[in-house]
Structure 1
């Protein structure tokens, strides 16, 4: 990733255009390769500043992707595979996360090393007793990132859950994805060191559609019906490219996959009671740019589309 940024690769330039078009004050990136010292993130911010979209306040940290466990975590009889890392990855930092902000960031609470077996009410599956003793819950990371606004801190509760597929009848990845979201449910309710010291927004790749595709939806439904609200963001391109067999609202889709088709898997979910002024998915249609962004550029950047929410906060 660092090499691609320094070379000005086409996908990097497309990502820069998407971020510039979104014009967000606070940005969470998922599925982005990170290094332990933050050089990649600094290089990306430098390119964004050159494009007129500076983000002076940055955060990233080593997550679980590619961190070797030394054990057979998925129970296939082999070790030292990407599936046997604490989070799927061929190298540490593959498919990680980063936060970019125009506002200062406070001290981040990291929950990335919480063991899956220690999650209250969780539904884990382990290949062995040895795996149970070391398996972390976060496939990437869980961060409580305070964004220091003039009226007080807004807490960004970030995650990037594992896809609920690529497993067997034991549904290991489906269980894990649900429990990764459950962690924030428990935190908001006061467990695991919570609740956050101020209003919060859960954001990231939840990897579960409310209606279609694979995955467990119980925790997502409970959050949307309780501590969080769903701004129901829409993008015109999601509706234009949706599969006709889907039963959910296609304009709310956030990803275009070759096999499963269009699904809603990326979320920005403000705490209930916060005032939402607007929301959307930055998904243009052919021949009709959205906020100056063309469909071709959005597609070149990622299969995922950027989700945005505008909040009105007391100052």
Structure 2
């Protein structure tokens, strides 16, 4: 998509590549479901995902809901070799020599009854992030440019209690929702938060990646809505100077983002400033942050999908909301253009998004940018 050495296209795409997507409703699996399908090179849903990526050709892309598979030969390498390196639907193969993925909190069992249903099952809503096996709904970052692995910061183990003025979750009588022993161990990130520096022809670009929990599937206590808000707020504080001094990463290094290098915030944030069930103050603060640009990508397909909704042009999910974001910093970045891969009926590529089962219930979101 880009030819100028100072221009790159950065994208995010929730690809629904986890066990629940491949099994009949109610059946439970694990990473082996994805491993089997990656190995064949013939899974139609993954072929469609690869075809979309090949058509849009981003230089850097974050895939959310890509199961964490510890053996890269069975995970990221299989995706690259069996799908991305193979022409899909007439598109050209694409290569990403560099990648980063790591463990996430989803499916990591806790010993506590976190949803207060009377049973500490260790899975589902009783895991540290909702999931039925460790690594479910993971994240994968692919890049055409070198990743500076020694400078990566991750925040998977940052404790929610350590965020000043975090949103408190209480029961109907006002007592804490989470028992104290659980609260002392509770991570903020439902998956993880990553700060991944990429070397773009000598220029450093930081990718801030996350996938906050959906702000639903709870009760009046709104525990998921509050966690979603604070997972988004994490980035607000991280880029706000001394406001982020309380943050510590998984190696114990304290402090927020203190670099002048440009950055881009990526991911399925599961929140819209104008629609849906999220506590909107979190995403609103991020989108209006003085260091952040909001290019507001749009598509013809989204308008066709929801012609009666005023904000439809900016939707990124078939359930009629803007949920997925590529937000460049103001410093060091000029936005060239942006978009959502959501063709209208009759447009090239429409067959790749015609049904939820065809590819995903989310759309690929991209921003072409020029590094100054």
Matches within 5 A, 1:5-154: 5-7=38-40, 8-38=42-72, 39-46=74-81, 47-51=83-87, 52-80=93-121, 81-107=123-149, 108-125=152-169, 126-154=177-205
The Cα of 1:301 is off from its aligned counterpart by 1.1
Partner of 2:359: 301
Runs of 4+ in 1 over 3 A off after TM superposition: 295-299
Distance 1:11 1:196 in 2: 41
Relative to structure 2, which stretch is displaced further, 156-165 or 122-131?
122-131
The Cα of 1:296 is off from its aligned counterpart by 3.8
Structure exhibiting the larger radius of gyration computed from Cα positions: 2
- Return the TM-score normalized by structure 2: 0.79
Q: Deviations over 1:77-98 (max 9, x none)?
A: 2112311111111111111100
Distance 1:137 1:104 in 2: 29
Distance 1:45 1:298 in 2: 24
Distance 1:288 1:264 in 2: 21
Q: Give 5+ residue unaligned stretches, structure 2.
A: 1-33, 88-92, 170-176, 248-254
1:229–1:269 Cα contact (<8 Å) kept? yes
Secondary structure in 1 matching 2:75? helix
Residue of structure 1 aligned with 2:368, choices 289, 301, 310: 310
Please give the root-mean-square deviation of Cα atoms over the aligned residues, in Å: 1.4
1:194 aligns with 2:262: no
The Cα of 1:297 is off from its aligned counterpart by 4.3
Structure 1 pair 152–196 and aligned structure 2 pair: CA distance change class (3 A): farther
The Cα of 1:141 is off from its aligned counterpart by 1.0
Partner of 2:303: 239
Q: Deviations over 1:231-251 (max 9, x none)?
A: 01001100000162x34x211
Distance 1:99 1:304 in 2: 17
Secondary structure in 1 matching 2:301? helix
2:342–2:353 Cα contact (<8 Å) kept? no
1:188–1:194 Cα contact (<8 Å) kept? yes
1:4 aligns with 2:37: yes
Number of residue pairs the alignment of both structures matches? 305
1:269 aligns with 2:331: no
Partner of 1:284: 343
1:235–1:252 Cα contact (<8 Å) kept? yes
Q: Give 5+ residue unaligned stretches, structure 1.
A: none
1:201–1:271 Cα contact (<8 Å) kept? yes
The Cα of 1:211 is off from its aligned counterpart by 0.8
The Cα of 1:36 is off from its aligned counterpart by 2.3
Secondary structure in 2 matching 1:83? coil
Secondary structure in 1 matching 2:85? helix
Residue of structure 2 aligned with 1:253, choices 315, 322, 326: 315
Could you say which structure has the greater relative contact order, defined with CA pairs below 8 angstroms and 6 or more residues apart? Answer: 2
2:124–2:132 Cα contact (<8 Å) kept? yes
Distance 2:76 2:110 in 1: 26
- Return the TM-score normalized by structure 1: 0.93
Distance 2:135 2:114 in 1: 19
